[in-house]
Amino acid sequence: MNKIGRRRSLALALVSFSTPCLLFTFLRPKESRHNNDETPAVMLATIFPEEICLSPKLDGLVDNEEMSSSIGGELPPIRLVSDPYPTFNGISLDVENNRVAMSDENRKGVLVYDRAGGNKSSVATSPLRQIIGPDSQIGYIAGVTFDPAHREIYAVNNDLDDRIVVFDDDAHGDVKPKRRLFVPHQAWGISVNPAADQFAISVQQLSMVAIYRREAKGLEAPLRIIEGPSTGLADPHGLYWDAGHHEIVVANHGNYSVIASYSAYDAGVSSQAMSAGGHFLPPSLNVFQDSASADAKPARTIQGAHTQLNWPMGIDIDSVHEEIAVANNGDNSVLVFRRSAQGDVEPVRVIRGPRTGIVSPMGVAIDAKNDEIWVANYGDHTAEVFSRTATGNAVPKRIVRNAPAGTPTGGFGNPYAVAYDSKRDQLLVPN
């Protein structure tokens, strides 16, 4: 089989995306099994761009003859599903310096683009800078944020790495972070308050917000935490520290349980957790006084059927127009609420529909200065820029692409399991 044939046999497919907790179904055409000339259900890329590809080289795919008598060893795979392109997740705007940063969960990096970049072209947009590589210690990254006041950029590793890494904002390549702070498992969102010289993070599995000294590093403990049943925090993701109003806003998926020790380093079993039971709460936006700690009640909560909240991911606040924007991953939309809203309220605007191109949004950022709103899509290789007041089935003004238009996304987010559906001849992979 020639090299092109081997390349063609590589990629299978993706059907739909999720956030860190869904299933993917990969079609595996029966007629193609054990056939190196197989046609995948969906091609991720006909030819992988090896210069940016972290996936393995492609020349090792094996002929059936080589495999027939093998009982193991250094077996090359006969098929591989892997997305060689970045997938956008978190997003942060630095309007003063005309930059936008996005985390790349798939390839484990941070991409920085020109704020005015993007267009209607189908060609991938060139980033200004990219932080990527083992020395960067960027892993399964979620949140990212600029701190323009200190010319720094923060990256939050969500699963596995348990660390935040901080770089100078002109960092590029496989560079070591200038600071590294270990944090609880499953940190997701981050927001810096330069005036308080602190930052806050959300922690999924602990249903917690932790506030740290801005220059914290190593194993420095948080200054305080917001955690407990009164907080209403439940699998929190997006977080924004609204310094102007002295509030912290947190987006919650709604999964809640009393956490107990679970690691291989702790022998204990919590009887309290054993008897607590889990809960599925409606998703919410919880607003706390930024001095809150412990089991504090939120000052306001946006929650209920009218809100349309569905797996709310990243959030941002427009202090000029007094609005909160939400990347509403569960229904491929962006919701905008009044900043002071509370209860079971409807959003004041919703960007949703096939013309929007919004697919599994993870991040959102408001640019009040230029009257724009950015959306980072995980389900497509795009970040889109809309007019700030766009509503309904709106068309984006311009698009930043991290792959040529039409390139499917792999959709994986730290895949740690797989199952084989023998009835449909499909593979199921949870994120």
Q: Which of residues 389-408 bind other proteins (CB under 8 A)?
A: none
Of 128 and 258, the one with the shorter C-beta distance to other proteins is 258
Query: In this structure, which amino acid lies at residue 328?
Result: N
DSSP state letters, 31-53: GGTT-TT---SS-S-SS--TTT-
φ, ψ at 430 (rounded to 5°) = -85, 150
Indicate which single residue of 2, 51, 218, 305 sits in contact with other proteins (rule: CB under 8 A). Answer: 218
Cβ proximity to other proteins: between 277 and 354 the closer is 277
Q: Please enumerate in sequence order all residues whose Cβ is within 8 A of that of 289, keeping only pairs 6 or more positions apart, or say none.
A: 246, 247, 248, 296, 299
User: Of 13-21, 146-154, 337-345, 394-402, which part binds other proteins (CB under 8 A)?
Assistant: 13-21
Q: How far is the CB of 364 from other proteins (least distance, A)?
A: 20
Amino acid at site 16: S
Q: How far is the CB of 221 from other proteins (least distance, A)?
A: 6
Residue of the chain from 27, 52, 54, 223 that contacts other proteins (CB under 8 A): 54
Report, in Å, the least distance between residue 410 CB and other proteins.
7
209 is a contact residue toward other proteins (CB under 8 A): no
Q: Which CB atom, from 133 or from 194, has the smaller least distance to other proteins?
A: 133
Nearest CB to other proteins, comparing residues 137 and 289: 137
- Closer of 195 and 419 to other proteins (Cβ): 419
Instruction: Looking at residues 238 to 297 of the shown chain, list those that interact with other proteins (rule: CB under 8 A).
Output: 255-267, 269-270, 273-280
Q: Nearer to other proteins by C-beta: 305 or 417?
A: 417
In the complex, least distance from residue 318 CB atom to other proteins, rounded to whole angstroms: 29
Residue 42 engages other proteins in binding (rule: CB under 8 A): no
Min dist CB 399 to other proteins, Å, is 24
Q: Please, which residue, 293 or 342, has the CB nearer to other proteins?
A: 293
Q: Please give the Cα distance from 19 to 21 (Å, whole number).
A: 5
CA 6/CA 18 separation, integer angstroms: 29
DSSP class of residue 135? G
Footprint of other proteins on 116-135 (CB under 8 A):
134
Of the ranges 218-226, 297-305, 358-366, 380-388, which one interacts with other proteins (CB under 8 A)?
218-226
Min separation Cβ 230 and other proteins, Å: 16
Select the span of 242-250, 351-359, 388-396, 418-426 touching other proteins (CB under 8 A): 418-426
Candidate residues 6, 150, 185, 397; the one interacting with other proteins per rule CB under 8 A: 185
Which range touches other proteins (CB under 8 A), out of 94-102, 121-129, 160-168, 371-379? 160-168
Cα 25 to Cα 39, 107, 111: the distances in Å are 17, 21, 29
Segment 316 to 355, residues that bind other proteins, using CB under 8 A = 330
Q: Does 415 bind other proteins (CB under 8 A)?
A: yes
With contacts defined by CB under 8 A, name the span among 177-185, 193-201, 240-248, 335-343 that binds other proteins: 177-185
Distance CA 86, CA 103 (A): 9
Tokens standing for residue 309: 């909240």
The string of DSSP letters for 305-374 reads: GGG--SSEEEEEEETTTTEEEEEEGGGTEEEEEETT--BS---SEEEESTTTT--SEEEEEEETTTTEEE
Reduced to 3 states, what is the DSSP secondary structure of residue 145?
Answer: strand
127: left (phi over 0), alpha (psi -120 to 50) or beta: beta
8-16, 300-308, 318-326, 336-344 -> range binding other proteins (CB under 8 A): 8-16
Q: Minimum Å distance from CB 111 to other proteins?
A: 16
Instruction: Give the sheet arrangement for strand 23-27, strand by strand.
Output: 23-27, 426-430, 419-421
For other proteins, the binding residues in 60-119 under the rule CB under 8 A are 60, 62, 64, 67-83, 106-108
DSSP readout, 280-299?
EPPPEEEEEETT--BSPPPS
Comparison of 2 and 275: residue with beta carbon closer to other proteins: 275
Q: Considering only residues 128, 182, 342, 370, which one is a binding residue for other proteins as defined by CB under 8 A?
A: 182
Q: Are strands 372-377 and 187-193 parallel, antiparallel or unpaired?
A: unpaired
CA–CA dist 181, 177 (Å, integer)? 10
Q: Say whether 27 sits in a helix, a strand or coil.
A: strand
For other proteins, the closer CB: 128 or 428: 428
Size of the site for other proteins (CB under 8 A): 107
Q: How far is CA 253 from CA 19, 186, 236, 259, 320, in A?
A: 11, 14, 6, 16, 27
